[in-house]
Structure 1
Amino acid sequence: MSIKTIVMSVTMALSLGVTPYVVAAPVSAASQQATQSLVHQLTGLRSFSADFEQTTKANVKNNLPKKPVAAQHLNQKFTGVMKVERPGKFYWETTAPSKQLIVTSSKTIWIYDPDLQQVVRQTVSDQVANTPALLLSGNTAQIMQSYIVSQPDSSKNYYTLTPKNTEGSFQDLSIGFAKDGTPSVMVLNDALGQTTTINFSRVVKNAKIAASTFNFVPPKGTDIIDQ
């Protein structure tokens, strides 16, 4: 899974509320209960900032078709900081081993590479429906419409979401919460048979984040690429 795909997944998981179209299907009582428990964990989470540590590994147990994998991303640790504010504001800065900044302010996504002096500008569209976009929507019915939610251990605040739409970039996404209700870990299994784990630390919940954080202005001399 590319850095861009990972960040987009986390972006939508933690900040937006887009509902992809899926065919309605019966939902088990266990899934309903897990969904309601997940929504309870997310209730009241208006903003969120943390340091992150991200690693990606090949999932050898996965029998999916083999496709080329960006080897430089496997077993490599990426660290940085992230900030989220509802609705739709997201800041993700990778500081090591290389620098990259991704900022979204609901309508526009900026992907900035300072080494290349280049920024990609994208419009947030319905294409984000293939990412886990409903986690902070707080709408149980919408989450159940798009994902099958399970809670492997009812005594732990850890949930796995499997998309009903199988055409997305990931197979499933799991999210775990600390005792204070803040997200502590996310695990993504993608369509290439890779597993990406993102651990959060130094978490701050519901603190005021400066509006300028989400207003990206390309530095002078930066090439802007529209996609």
Structure 2
Amino acid sequence: MKRFATFLIAACALSAGATGLNDLESFIKGVKSGKAEFSQVVTAPAKEGQVARSKVSSGTFEFLRPGRFKFIYKKPFEQTIVADGQTLWLYDVDLNQVTSRKQAQALGSTPAALIASSADLKALQADFALADAADKDGLQWVQGAPKAKESQLQSVRVGFKQGQLAALEIVDSFGQRSVLTFSSFAANVPLDAAAFQFKPPAGADVVQQ
């Protein structure tokens, strides 16, 4: 799960229209905050002679530009991922463990850069090869491939329906696929930066990376 932490923040907000890259640019400029519910299916590559296994989880997320995100996993295990603009925090409730790392180093060329870090499409294209992808499953898709040679990602695809965030597909360098689907997406909702502050719970084991 933690390997996807920096990827998942991508979910913090995509809402573009059917015209692909132009609408993605409009979204970056025009959508300053958002929230939604999500479900996630993570599928590891099938080993020889075995069937690929998937894990399903669900929760909520919020985002506030610039650079603030909150993912709260509710099922099947509780976990919180918070980016406050400076630090990325991961809190595993069952383990009572908090992991922190500098946000700028943690994100890199991840989906988060597509939606939270860059100010415009030109800035995104310095880190990603972006292109409109073919419509599929009733969604309009934008595909991105990181230009960094040592990226932990192979590819990321974002799907939109009628101008709203609908899906995010991430394939990492190990061939593991994470598919998030979103519902009840709300754009430009009033959110306070203070809501993205995180304080480790008393007694939690804190690990800095």
- TM over 0.5, yes or no? yes
Count matched residues: 197
TM-score relative to the length of structure 1: 0.77
* Percent identical: 27
Give the deviation of 1:173 after TM superposition. Answer: 0.2
Distance in 1 (CA, whole Å) between partners of 2:33 and 2:39 is 19
Is 1:178–2:176 an aligned residue pair? Answer: no
Please point out which of 95, 103, 126 is paired with 1:145.
Answer: 126
Deviations along 1:188-222, one digit per CA (max 9) or x if unpaired, are 11111121100011111111123332111222222
Cα 1:74–1:87 change in 2 (3 A) is: farther
Q: Residue in 2 aligned with 1:63?
A: none
Distance in 1 (CA, whole Å) between partners of 2:96 and 2:27 is 40
TM-score relative to the length of structure 2: 0.83
Give the deviation of 1:39 after TM superposition. Answer: 1.2
Give the deviation of 1:116 after TM superposition. Answer: 1.6
Unaligned segments of structure 1, at least 5 residues: 16-32, 61-65
Distance in 2 (CA, whole Å) between partners of 1:216 and 1:75 is 30
Give the deviation of 1:152 after TM superposition. Answer: 2.2
Is 1:43–2:41 an aligned residue pair? Answer: no
Distance in 2 (CA, whole Å) between partners of 1:148 and 1:121 is 29
Question: Is 2:88–2:106's contact at 8 Å kept on the other side of the alignment?
Answer: no
Please say which structure displays the higher CA radius of gyration: 1
Distance in 2 (CA, whole Å) between partners of 1:37 and 1:166 is 28
Distance in 1 (CA, whole Å) between partners of 2:126 and 2:8 is 20
Quote the RMSD (CA, aligned, Å). 2.6
Question: Is 2:11–2:168's contact at 8 Å kept on the other side of the alignment?
Answer: no
Q: Residue in 2 aligned with 1:24?
A: none
Question: Is 2:79–2:91's contact at 8 Å kept on the other side of the alignment?
Answer: yes
Deviations along 1:110-145, one digit per CA (max 9) or x if unpaired, are 111122222112122335223234323242222222
Deviations along 1:56-83, one digit per CA (max 9) or x if unpaired, are 12456xxxxx8xxxx9x94111101111
Please point out which of 146, 152, 162 is paired with 1:169.
Answer: 152
Letter in 2 for 1:166: K
Q: Residue in 2 aligned with 1:26?
A: none
Unaligned segments of structure 2, at least 5 residues: 14-18
Higher strand share: 2
Give SS of 1:98's match. coil
Distance in 1 (CA, whole Å) between partners of 2:27 and 2:107 is 23
Cα 1:105–1:127 change in 2 (3 A) is: closer
Distance in 2 (CA, whole Å) between partners of 1:116 and 1:59 is 27
Cα 1:219–1:127 change in 2 (3 A) is: closer
